[in-house]
Structure 1
Amino acid sequence: MSLYKKTLLIGFIVVTLASCGTKKEEEKINLRSVRHETIELKSPVEALSFTGDIKSAVEPEVSFRVPGNIEKMNFKLGQSVKKGDVLATLDKIDYEIQLRKAESSYETAKASQIEAQSSYNRIKELYQNDSVSKSEFDSAKARMDSTSASLRVASEGIKYAKRQLKYTELKSSIDGTVAVKVSEVNENVAAGQSVYILNTDTDLEAISFVPESAIGQINIGSQVNIYAGAIGKNYLGEVVEVGTSSLQYGSTYPVKVAILGMDKSLRSGMSVVVDFNKDILSEKNKIFIPLNVILKDVNTNYVFIVEKDGEGVGVVRKVEVKTGMVTNKGLEILDGLSEGDELITAGMTKLEDGQQVKLK
């Protein structure tokens, strides 16, 4: 073969090989691009989170049982109190005067009763000897009975006056803390008017107000998560009461949550966020996919998934799926897909089973 022919042959081979390489590169470059996402199991419900406040389960409003002018208030806001501590006292002068009057009335009634008893005993003896008439005997007996009754009333009057005097001291009904100081020294208060509000930090609960659109999803006994932002801590809680009326709560319902395993850093009055249906949220056992990725044959629904086939390249697989309900999380998939599958979410138009694609 001449040198000229050899040169032409080598040139043809080089051009042919170059052309084949270009075609292969063009085929690779022209692969359809698709977007995909990894399928994860999700909870079938949405989180229900509402704000609330920490309250003491025992939070009495203490008040005097008698009216009067406050003479002393022995505790300040935030101070600890013990059960039986005297929180405040009223001016006692009027009640001491009432007691002395009751004691004086008692002494007068007692003297009258002694005199009537003595007269009755004398007339009774004369009556038995037929020395006085029946009417005189009956009159003496009636007077004795009357003075005895007056003596009993006077005795009860002393007891009542002593109780009234005792009620001028306001005592704590619990071991706790002064949460609110309602009244001040020298203030005239009525019986039953709040003077202090007490609470205890050893028996706390969270109160949240849930809108009517969500109250039906909250059940007694369900576990919740309570986040106290002021101290950056989470606490486990349990729903113990669910309100049945929204009256006075502005179309919301009060929900009371017991706090489990609380510590001393939690305080009454703190604002919290209560995450309801915590136990259901932890059950991630459903698959939801976007509605737009579902394609239809005559009688079936299907999607495309992709299996990686090298760097940035994958192979398409057509998968028939069984669908469930449409939710705000997407379309529920009952069968056909598994956790970890790579679902094609964009570029699925005119794909074919087994087709090679470029991954974005």
Structure 2
Amino acid sequence: MKSRYPIMTRARPLALALGGAALAAAALAGCSDATGKAAPAVAGAPPVSASVVVEKTIAETQEFSGRLEAIDVVAIRPRVSGYITAVNFKPGSEVKNGDVLFEIDRRPFQAEADRATAVFDAARAKAELARLELNRAEKLVADQAISQREYDERAAAWKELDASARSARAQAEAAKLNLSYTRVISPITGRVSKAEITLGNLVDSTTVLTSLVSQDRIYAGFDGDESTYLRLAERAHGGKPVVVRAGLANEDGFPHEGKLEFVDNQLDTRTGSVRMRAVFANKDRDMAPGLFARVQIRGDQREELLITDRAVGTDQSHKFVFVVGPQGKAQYREVTLGPIVDGLRVVRHGLKPGETIIVNGLQRVKPGVPVTVQNVPMLASAATSKKE
């Protein structure tokens, strides 16, 4: 039996195909560049978005992870042995240079100082008497009232007693010095830890009483890579200032400004890094030794090419982009990337100023195949903008 609707059955697929082609043509015709002008469509070419590479003068920055370190760290130990009789600070408080932190029983040292002083006084008196007798002997030997031998004996006696007096004076000074060591003082201004030894304990010179760190300034130690070393070592070793900024874990950005103070003389061949250290003022005392710090080093200003991270593809260990070449064909271009600046990625090598790269639709692109381009501004990717 023949179909009652032979014409409609055959015409429907053709009408649908023609309608789909018309819609696709209308969609391609609706693509426009940044100026609002429609980009020419190539038959069978996949639609993509493309942007012109941004050329900008920037001050490139590098960021590192580091730890804060105290400039002065002192382990407080007693210089004499004895019993602790006083602890004169609160744990964690700030102390000044010369403040008395601990006191050791001074009575035995006071007695020894008094004894040594008395011995010195007696020796000095004998030496003074010997000197007077030597002066008389000089006049007598000149008048030949005594023999030369007797004079020589008196001169030798004076020298011996004078040496004994000087030895006694040294012992007296040592005893007074030990007496002063019964007051354990702070050698620097800084923040003190807790007392490791409490009142009534016997201590000696090997005992650590507490520790002390300076606070006025602080170090930030971090590891730089080989390129950082090659860029900064000559300036740092030559005494030229290198500005360094730092931020703590609870801070936004890098509010603390300091300068590079130290670059090590060799790289660690195992890690390919070199130890560096910057110094910062710490007037507000908000930077403490041991805290994590983000460290930023700003480089010199220069012209750089910038692209969005959305335009970058990965081919095994290589990074690449697609450049829109002549006749709208996509060109594979391997690139060397740098850091992120203002949400865009620095391109070291692989691109030229004024070139247009594909930023959306990479999955539809093949090298050497024409594409239908819609020009859009070069914008940072959402992930990069959030990170920044």
Q: Same fold (TM over 0.5)?
A: yes
* Structure 2 unaligned regions, length at least 5: 1-10, 26-43, 316-320, 339-344, 377-388
Structure 2 residue aligned with 1:201: 215
In the comparison of the two structures, how many residue pairs are matched?
321
Are positions 1:257 and 2:278 aligned together? yes
Equivalent AA in structure 1 for residue 324 of structure 2: F
Larger Rg: 1
What's the % identity of the aligned pairs? Answer: 16
- C-alpha distance 103-250 of structure 1, shift in aligned 2 (>3 A): farther
Q: Deviation at 1:348?
A: 3.0
Greater Cα shift, 276-285 or 195-204:
276-285
Distance (whole Å) between structure 2 residues aligned to residue 21 and residue 287 of structure 1: 42
Equivalent AA in structure 1 for residue 119 of structure 2: S
- C-alpha distance 28-217 of structure 1, shift in aligned 2 (>3 A): farther
- C-alpha distance 233-74 of structure 1, shift in aligned 2 (>3 A): farther
Q: Deviation at 1:81?
A: 1.2
- C-alpha distance 214-226 of structure 1, shift in aligned 2 (>3 A): same
Structure 1 residue aligned with 2:171: 157
Are positions 1:243 and 2:264 aligned together? yes
User: Could you tell me whether the CA contact under 8 Å between 2:105 and 2:182 is conserved in 1?
Assistant: yes
Structure 2 residue aligned with 1:146: 160
Structure 2 residue aligned with 1:9: none
Q: Deviation at 1:86?
A: 1.2
Are positions 1:229 and 2:243 aligned together? no
Distance (whole Å) between structure 2 residues aligned to residue 76 and residue 222 of structure 1: 39
Equivalent AA in structure 1 for residue 260 of structure 2: V
Greater Cα shift, 159-168 or 182-191:
182-191
Distance (whole Å) between structure 1 residues aligned to residue 143 and residue 348 of structure 2: 112
**What does the per-residue CA deviation read over 1:114-150, in whole Å, with 9 as the maximum and x for residues that have no partner?**
4434544555554444343222222122212322222
Structure 1 residue aligned with 2:187: 173
**What does the per-residue CA deviation read over 1:285-307, in whole Å, with 9 as the maximum and x for residues that have no partner?**
345854689xxxxxxx983389x
Equivalent AA in structure 2 for residue 29 of structure 1: A
1:65-144 alignment, distance < 5 Å: 65-121=79-135, 123-144=137-158
Structure 2 residue aligned with 1:28: 23
1:288-307 alignment, distance < 5 Å: 290=312, 303-304=323-324
- C-alpha distance 119-172 of structure 1, shift in aligned 2 (>3 A): same
Q: TM-score, normalised by structure 2?
A: 0.63
Q: Deviation at 1:228?
A: 1.0
Out of 317, 321, 328, the position equivalent to 2:328 is 317
* Structure 1 unaligned regions, length at least 5: 1-15, 294-300, 307-315
Distance (whole Å) between structure 1 residues aligned to residue 143 and residue 132 of structure 2: 17
Any idea what SS the aligned residue of 1:71 has? Answer: strand
Structure 2 residue aligned with 1:190: 205
Equivalent AA in structure 1 for residue 213 of structure 2: N
- C-alpha distance 37-356 of structure 1, shift in aligned 2 (>3 A): closer
Q: TM-score, normalised by structure 1?
A: 0.67
Q: Deviation at 1:109?
A: 1.2
CA RMSD of aligned residues (A): 4.7
